[in-house]
Structure 1
């Protein structure tokens, strides 16, 4: 399997994974307990990012900035989650597991990042 095809498959899997957050988002808003207002905000961002990852999977080279954003925002979100889990701010041990998932997502995207097109690098 070529590197580009592998990246496309990874982007589709990540896009579907993020898009799967639509169900808990809708359920959370439908039965809104007002106990935690942060969860639906993050879910809405990840669902939106999932849609754009699926669109970008058609031509990853043209969507390098989205791939970089997805990778580095995953690392940033992981840093916050690990700090919260370590300080027991939220009292949610599942943050460690989600952190691992986001680290894998970020690493996969960076390792598979497509090269810049020759026109951008200064080629003909």
Structure 2
């Protein structure tokens, strides 16, 4: 299987996961939600859910022709790295949830690493 096909699969899979941020926060709140109580108790969290669900839908759409959507993929890579680094630093602040170091921080870095490797590999193959 080519790197391009793996990239298509990864984009689709990560797109689905991004659409599932809300259920992940219900199942594993210490790894995905930054507040106590239900996910809807935080306006900030619901804003993030909306942004990630939208990004997820666009990643699913980009999975059909990844090289034509390279800027969206690069945005996903770099925004995931920045988001993970900020969350990693913030998880060490007093009262923060260290569960993020096992939940969304590594998940975001995984997204960046997989999409980065596959995107740049697929672009160099063609």
Above 0.5 in TM-score?
yes
Q: Normalized against structure 2, the TM-score is what?
A: 0.78
Aligned structure 1 segments of 4 or more residues deviating by more than 4 angstroms: 22-25
**Greater helix fraction, Structure 1 or Structure 2:** 2
Q: Aligned equivalents of 1:8 and 1:71: distance in 2?
A: 15
Q: Which runs of 5+ in 2 are unaligned?
A: 26-37
Q: Aligned equivalents of 1:31 and 1:3: distance in 2?
A: 37
Within a 5 Å distance, the mapping from 1:111-122 to structure 2 comes to 111-113=117-119, 114-115=122-123
Q: Which runs of 5+ in 1 are unaligned?
A: 119-124
Matched, 1:60 2:69: no
Within a 5 Å distance, the mapping from 1:1-124 to structure 2 comes to 1-21=1-21, 23=23, 32-33=40-41, 36-88=42-94, 91-97=96-102, 98-113=104-119, 114-115=122-123
> What is the alpha-carbon root mean square deviation over aligned residues?
2.3
Please tell me whether the aligned partners of residues 39 and 45 of structure 2 are also in contact (alpha carbons under 8 angstroms).
no
Listed one character per residue, the Cα deviations across residues 30-78 of structure 1 (whole Å, up to 9, x for unaligned) are 9843xx3221111111000000000000000100000000011000100
Change (3 A) 1:8 1:84: same
Q: Aligned equivalents of 2:69 and 2:19: distance in 1?
A: 18
Aligned residues: 110
Q: Aligned equivalents of 2:76 and 2:10: distance in 1?
A: 12
- Whose Rg is larger? 1
Q: Aligned equivalents of 2:22 and 2:64: distance in 1?
A: 22
Q: Which moved more, 1:15-24 or 1:72-81?
A: 15-24
